[in-house]
Each structure stands twice: as C-alpha cells, then as structure tokens.
Amino acid sequence: MTAPGQGAQTPGFLAPWLELPGVAERLGAASELAGCDLIRFGTTADADEIRDTAVAQPLLVAAAIIAASALSGSDPGDVPADAAAGHSVGELAAGVIAGVLSADDAMRLVRVRGTAMAAAAAAEPTGMTAVLGGEAEAVLAAIASTGLTPANVNGAGQIVAAGTLADLEAFAAAPPAGARLRPLQVAGAFHTRHMAPAVAALRDAAASVPVRDPAMTLLSDADGAAVTTGKEWLERIIAQVAAPVRWDLCMRTMADLGVTAVIELPPAGTLTGLARRALPGVAQLAIKTPDQLDAARELIAEHLADSDRHSHGHLPEWRLIVAPTSGTFRSPAGGGDAAATGAMVALTADLGTVVARGGQRAVAAPWPAEIIEWLVEDGDPVSEGQPLVRVQPREGA
C-alpha cells in the first residue's frame, strides 16, 4: 500500500470521495486538526491554491487516510496489506496504515510539517528541478558539482535536484548529457539542508505523540529499509524533512520482499507509474475514485501473503550510511583504509569524510555494524544523501 507525496494533488480530486457516507464528517474533523478547509481545497480550489505547501500536505495525508478507511470499511489501520510505504509527506499516511500512529495525530503532525516547510522555503530563494533521463551516476555527479542536493531519487530515470535558484541556474546552463531538465512549480528546496528549521519544529511537535511498533512491513524513504519500531520510524520521518527521498531504494526493497502488487492511494498515479518501469511483472492499481475500491479489494485478496509470512521475521534489516553533504568522499587517512567488507565497526567509528567547499564532514557509523558493501571509493564525487556504504547493524560490535 503506497501513499503519494506533494505534487500529486490535482484540483477537485476529492470530490468523488465526498459521495461516500461519513467522508464529509471525517474531512470536517480533519480540517479542524489541519487548520484549513480540506473539503474546499479538495473540491473547488484551483491549482495555485492547492500548490501551497501548508495546504497540499494536509490535503494529501487526509485523502490517503480517507481512502484507506473506505478500503478497509472501518479504520485506516485495518487495511489488509503486507507492506506500506509513503513518498515524502505520504510517509505519515503510511504510518497510520501500519498502525504506528493515529489518524488524528498524523493530521496534527502534518499541519506543523506543512507550515514549517513553507516558512523555511520563504527564508531564501530556492527551488527544485526534475532531471529526466541521463546516466544516473553522471546526473548525481553533476548535481554534486553544482552544490545541489538530489532531493528525490525516484528511480526509472527520474532524479530531482534542489537548492538555491543561483545553483539551479548554473546546473541548467550545463545539464548532464542525455538528460532533460524540468523546473518544478514548488515553493522551495524540500528535503535539503534548507529545511533544517522545519526539522526542529516537527521534532518539537512529535515529542508528545504516542507511537506503536508497525503491524506490517513499513518502509522508510531514507534508505528503503524496513523499520520495525515506532520510535525509529518517528525519528526517521522527522529527519526526512531535510534529507533526500530514496524512493528508488524503497522499490528495491519491495522487489527483495517479493512484492507482487502495488496499490497507490489517491491522488494516485505517480508511484504506480514509477513501479510500472522499476518493478516489471508487478501488478499496479492507482485508486483515483471510490468506484475502484472493489478492484483494489480483489487485488488484495489475490496477492496478500499468507498470515504466517505477515511478520517482520523475513525483513532485510540492512541500513545505508549516506553522505552528510555534497563533495568528495575520502577514506580514513586519505585513502585506501576504508573498513573492508565483512569488517565489524564500532559505534561512531570513523568511516571517512566528505570534503566540500565549506570544509569537511565526518562519516560515522550510527550503530555498531558489519560492513556489507562499499558503494563508493576514495576520491569519488558524492551528493548529499547519496548512499556510501551498506551495513548490517549488530549488537555489541
């Protein structure tokens, strides 16, 4: 079960859902929590009005929760599914579906998230540009060399560069070979360091939110990993506001898990489109209107895993350590001394540095871990948020 992120909304997309019994009342209550009229914004507002970050984010989360409730026939946390994932703000809806937090708490948090991100975007002229096509490594290197961040790595030849308007202009003047650039109509550089003030605001708001461990496989945008505790999930979605979205890695984990069908909640289409190209042979259904709910239930009944597989026992528990900034990766002691594959590293172990124009940032292990695979070498250019090494967390390493 997947929930889309900002940019998926279209004028009037909620209108058909208001024909279902009880939806108007639910949206009315959600509007109170979100601080905006979700019914009006989802039915009669124009494209410019719903582009506002403080409006779009609550609207998207509410829509996914409403559709999940309709699909289950009761509570959004009762949707029969093996896994849940959300793109950017869609992670809040995925958390509700996985039983990590209540629908009301999701609306409270998205109100703070949307408002804080809008405020952070207004502090400095920033933006985002979609890079379509081109060789992925060349695109990432070009983004890093211009001081930008790959804010969304969506797979299927789609990467979104974000940063200051001046850096975006420099990037557009010398685009990567074979790539087409499409500036996005967004308010700022989401999922980059420019959103740091919003991280602090969301962390304060989340301090009093109760969470539970997920009742199904719940994937994280940070690195595609399955998160097994509510505490870790909450910290990840807070940090994600200023960190790149790795939807490509979420889809890789879906493939590793043997996912056979992907359902996208409204306003659907974006994520199923990516899955169509990245997950060949996997069935997709984009739920746009309530008349598709029966088809969704049939797809679930056909593809839902047996109950004995509906657990966390088979999850890939590896994690990725990513670049803290854009620049050049240097192994410890200047090269050649990176921890070898299979080595055990201690908490806060020195794994190298990223040398940037403003200095250098250390790369450290957030957990005791075993090195599974290095994804970069000494001297490689890297972008902020780019995976550097795959590790397996270990107790007592």
Active-site residue list: 88, 191
Token output for 345: 């590293």
The answer to whether 142 and 176 have CB atoms below 8 angstroms apart is yes
CA gap 55, 114 in Å, rounded: 7
Pick from 372, 369, 365, 363: which is nearest to 397 by CA? 369
Cβ 128 vs Cβ 160: under 8 Å = yes
Q: How far apart are CA 397 and CA 393, in angstroms?
A: 9
Round to whole Å and give the CA distance between 296 and 329.
45
Angle between helices 53-72 and 90-97 (to 10 degrees): 30
